[in-house]
Amino acid sequence: MRIVVAEDAALLREGLVRILERAGHDVVAAVADAKELLTYAGNVRPDLVVTDIRMPPTHTDEGLRAAATIRAAHPGVAIMLLSAYVADAYVGELLESTPGGGIGYLLKDRVGHVRDFLDSIDRVAAGGTVIDAEVVRHLVGRRHADGPLAALTDREREVLALMAEGHTNNGIAGELFVSEAAVRKHIGNIFAKLPLDPASDRRVSAVLTYLRG
Amino acid sequence: MSRFPDAWTAVRGRPTRFLLSAWPWRALAYVASTVPIGLAWLILLLVMLAVGGATVIVVAGLFVLAGIPVLARLAAASERRRLRLIFPGRPAHQPPDPQPGRVSWPETGVTVLLATVFWLVDAALLLLLLTVPGALLLAPVLVRRDRLDLAGWRVDTSGEAWMAAGAGLVALILLAYAITVLACGQAALVRHLLDPPEARLAEAVQQLRRSRSGLVDAFETERRRIERDLHDGVQQRLVALTMTLGSAELDLPDGPGLDLVREAHQQAEQALADLRTTIRGIHPQVLTDHGLAAAVHEIAGRFPVPVHLDLALHGRLPPAIEAAAYFFISENLTNVARHAGARSAQVHAWTEEHALIVSVVDDGSGGADPQAGTGLAGLRARLDALDGELHIASPAGGPTQVRMTCPIN
């Protein structure tokens, strides 16, 4: 897979490149700011962009904005966003600016779990949506009162949360210590209860409904 | 310059220190300059009055007479500057004219005093200063040529001449005091007329307010700098460390070595989690990036008790106010979780008439004591510095409402 890495801290940038390269990926560019990222992403047409959200010059959300620009120009590019802290304020922006799958949003700490991180990269590149477990937990905590999710049982919400984190049915079954058939049944119920967008993939649409509340 | 803040303090201080200081000379400069200045204003005033009076019949005189307040304003401006000789540390600037063109009676009064009484008194005292101690001090020299008559005291021997010189020295000292006291008196009167104490107090309060809000801004900037340093320095290093450890885990074969690396990895992650909490406590990044509403949603999302948010905030507020409101909400929700035994809480925030109002209400047991604990005291101090207010209503049995109001300027 051809990857562009954008991260302003040199130490982390090199670490990311090392991890991705040892997994056999081709890191075509490793850049330090959003401007360079836009230049390279336009020139080398990577399959995936791994970018820090907060980068120079303003150290706010340059990475996020650059990702949205790249996606608008090249809808096929998968995006993995990294953040040093969890802010669910970013999730809304992320979903609005980059419709469709192929999006990941992870806490930087997760990169240290190299195998899981590489796994997330693959899932995002394959068109999946991977949202950091901590963000998902926040969202779970505050969505009890009303909205479409109120119709779900606690178990169904758990399953949906794991779907949002990017797990496969098999993975969800493993996490919850149930059979894959049971997971499929829960997912069927979820699809039936949520008002999903018929035009898009039901799984992605369910996750997005979940993340938007 | 001397260690005394003004001439009046100096004149009441220890005599040696006063006499050796610059204050007698400054007082002398003040009194001596009063004479020509007062004379000049007198002549100007007389000329204007004469010309104005003579031509008043042909209306032109009225314009000349109307120039007198302008003259008074000029005189007052120069007097304000001259005041610094006696009372330094006071700004010499003219306060803005509240109603331009109107006669300012205090300013006119000062001009008239200057043109009539002040310069005459000052001239008389200066004359006394130049003659009496001068003659007495010079007595030992003068007595060699001739004998001296000093107000009925005939000095004709050298011994007497030295006594006279001693008396001259005493007279000089007394006059130094007299001149300083006179200068202080005149300057105090001028200051009282031109710069009344209420105006001075109001200005001091204004200055205090400015410096205080400057301090709050500096404090907020510093918090952000610390947050950014931790974020861009320590946190990045720790993440890099976990990446290295994670890579090592992949390379190492099973065994005690791998177990140690895994343990180190866990410790580094714990350190990262702790650091994130610390950074959030110093200044949450989401507050900087997305403003108060987003930051409050974050707190509510982490909160164990359901929180209903009603935030009518449009656009961004000044950083110091956003930070104060954020910590107000954060601290109060923490109190709700710890002490109130509440089932739910509500946060309302809105802006009205240049003020931000935030209220946190819970359905807990009430009886919150604003004196207990340091959290509320800290919030109050923070709000005080922004001219804000804090109200707590917490009857036993609940509900508890804490509300802050903070002006936005």
pLDDT, tens only, B186-244: 888 888 888 777 877 888 888 888 888 788 888 888 888 898 888 888 888 999 999 99
Q: Spell out which chain A residues touch chain B, with contact meaning CB-CB distance below 8 angstroms.
A: 9, 11-12, 15-16, 18-19, 22, 54, 59-61, 84-85, 87-89, 108-109, 111-115, 117, 138-139, 141-142, 144-145
Report the pLDDT averaged over residues A33-43: 89
| Nearest CB to A9 within list B228, B232, B242 | B232
Residues B300, A142: C-beta atoms closer than 8 Å: yes
Report the pLDDT averaged over residues A42-63: 87
| Nearest CB to B243 within list A61, A111, A115 | A111
Provide the CA B370 distance to its chain's centre, in angstroms: 30
- pLDDT above 50 (res B1): no
Nearest CA in chain A to B233: A9
Q: What is the DSSP string of A1-12?
A: -EEEEE-SSHHH
- pLDDT above 60 (res B327): yes
Task: Provide, as residue numbers in chain A, all residues whose Cβ is less than 8 Å from the Cβ of B295.
Answer: 89
Average per-residue pLDDT in chain A?
Answer: 84
Task: In whole angstroms, give the CA distance from residue B91 to residue B80.
Answer: 8
3-state secondary structure of B329: helix
Residues A112, B285: C-beta atoms closer than 8 Å: no
Q: What is the DSSP string of chain A?
A: -EEEEE-SSHHHHHHHHHHHHHTT-EEEEEESSHHHHHHHHHHH--SEEEEESS-TTTTSSHHHHHHHHHHHH-TT-EEEEEESS--HHHHHHHHHHS-SS-EEEEEGGGGGSHHHHHHHHHHHHTT-EEE-HHHHHHHHHH--SSSGGGGS-HHHHHHHHHHHTT--HHHHHHHHTS-HHHHHHHHHHHHHHS---TTS-HHHHHHHHHHH-
Report the pLDDT averaged over residues B255-274: 92
Tokens of B386: 């922004």
Residues B279, A9: C-beta atoms closer than 8 Å: no
Distance from CA of A212 to the nearest CA of B (A): 14
Report the pLDDT averaged over residues A142-150: 63
pLDDT tens per residue, range B354-409: 899 999 998 887 777 766 666 778 888 888 888 888 888 888 877 889 999 999 87
pLDDT tens per residue, range B90-99: 655 555 555 5
The answer, yes or no, to whether the previous bond of B91 is cis (omega within 30 of 0) is no
